[in-house]
Amino acid sequence: MLVFRGPSYEELNYTPEQSQAAMQKWMDWIGKMGAQGRYVGGNPLAPDGKMVKGRKPVITDGPFAEGKEAVGGYIIIKADSLKEASEMALGFPDFELEGTVEVREIIPMG
């Protein structure tokens, strides 16, 4: 799984044209992985949410992170190794915006 962190295009005050151009880079990257049979699925995440934590769980507003650290979405890919998945992540289109990609292996249950 690739987990994306970085500022939203709204936070960067992108114009609709800039947002569309940025999203086209995403579609091209994901399309390339899809054509290779490597893309499984994924979605952007809403900027707001709730946190549930504590020994006696409490629900609070959150998560709150600086824009460039907020989790913006994820995709699930097929890769033969963590190394290969990391190399696939090199195509992430938002590195120039100081975005980051967390590469994690999904461990099958049962």
The CATH superfamily assigned to 2-103 is Dimeric alpha+beta barrel (3.30.70.1060)
- Asked if residue 1 lies in contact with residue 75, where contact means CB atoms within 8 angstroms, the answer is yes
Tokens representing 71?
Answer: 């989790």
**How high is the pLDDT of residue 61?**
83
Domain ranges of the chain: 2-103
**How high is the pLDDT of residue 15?**
97
> pTM (2 decimals)?
0.87
User: Alpha-carbon distance 16 to 20, whole Å?
Assistant: 6
Residues with Cβ within 8 Å of residue 38, at least 6 apart in sequence: 77, 78, 79, 88
**How high is the pLDDT of residue 51?**
87
* pLDDT digits 0-9 by tens, 38-69: 999 999 998 888 889 999 999 988 766 655 67
**How high is the pLDDT of residue 64?**
65
Question: In this predicted model, which residue has the larger pLDDT, 65 or 78?
Answer: 78
